[in-house]
Structure 1
Amino acid sequence: MEVTNRTLLKIIKAKLNDAKGTWLEELPNVLWAYRTTTRTPTGETPFRLTYGTEAVIPVEVGTTSIRREMFHEESNDDQLHVNLDCLDEVREKASDKMTKYQQKMAEYYNKRVKLRRLDIGDLVLCKVTPATRDSTQGKLGPT
């Protein structure tokens, strides 16, 4: 949730760099952009994982595209039902992709970690916070 909020704030700041106060009008566009952008870990859009089909972006509505030319209203409902039936498989594949992505990121991180052995009696630096500070040591105690 925090990552989502941070991403949305970054998009809002980028879109509204100059226009101060129009963020409310721009918020639906930002949310639409976020929901219809493919995520790297899953390879899917949040919209597809929720509704089982890809969203038609507003630009496609006004222009002719293969997607619009091939649209047949009577077969569309059947196709939407098929997409909903396959939604569990799409979510499982996305979950598998996310697991592989997380493993790959962990391997990348672990390659760069330097192993450091500590023996009993070795001095280590400990961070002292106000909650862990010994109040009997006064001003000259560790900080």
Structure 2
Amino acid sequence: MWTEELPSVLWAYRTTPRTTTGESPYSLCFRTEAVIPVEVGVQSPRVVHFTEDNNEEGLRSLLDLVEELRDKVVIRVAAYQQRVSRYYNKRVSPRPLRQGDLVLRNSAVADSTGTRGKLAPAGEGPYKIKRVLRPGTFKLETLGGREIARAWNAEHLRKYYQ
């Protein structure tokens, strides 16, 4: 039965407005709303008052406005991305780590074999931050001065207090 339903599902997907743009993919391409199959069966005003000449003229005038619509959509997408970013960043807690700080690293991430039991300690270390590669990314070294091979993200580090 899914092969019979697939065309109507795809049509619904293409004609449903998206949250990010506020427009359907169909309207972004053709600058007009599609006539859905239900409208044809029920004889909606769009179907009853349809004339070929008026339709062609209306579609041509709407195609001239497609670029303007797309510009508006770009602005809406940027605003949506800012809202998502604010929502995400509201829940992110900054970790002010600096060069020379002592940290514990997440032992579950450090042990790639996954053989640690649930009673194993959650953190390894302490390690000293040797240098800051970029905000949130650090090179670590042991207290003895041996550098750890890879860089570590602040998400997997906790500050160690003596």
Whole-Å separation in 2 of the counterparts to 1:111 and 1:52: 37
Q: Which amino acid aligns with 1:102?
A: Q
Match of 1:14 in 2: none
Residues 73-115 of structure 1 show CA distances to partners (whole Å, capped at 9, x for unaligned) of: 2111011011111111111111111110110111111111112
Partner of 1:78: 57
Which ranges in structure 2 are unaligned for 5 or more consecutive residues?
114-123, 125-162
> Is 1:105 paired with 2:88?
no
Q: Residue type matched to 2:62 in 1?
A: N
Q: Which has the higher strand share?
A: 2
Q: Which residue of 2 aligns with 1:50?
A: 29
Structure 1 length normalisation: TM-score?
A: 0.69
Greater fraction helix? 1
**CA-atom RMSD, angstroms?**
1.8
1:92 aligned to which of 50, 63, 71: 71
SS at match of 2:6: helix
For 2:18, the equivalent position in structure 1 comes to: 39
TM-score normalised to structure 2 length: 0.62
Please point out which of 81, 92, 112 is paired with 1:129: 112
Q: Secondary structure at the match of 1:123?
A: strand
Secondary structure at 1:124's aligned position in 2?
Answer: strand
What residue ranges of structure 1 are gaps of 5+ in the alignment?
Answer: 1-21, 131-141
- The 5 A counterparts of 1:9-28 are 22-28=1-7
Q: How many residues align?
A: 110
Greater Rg by CA: 2
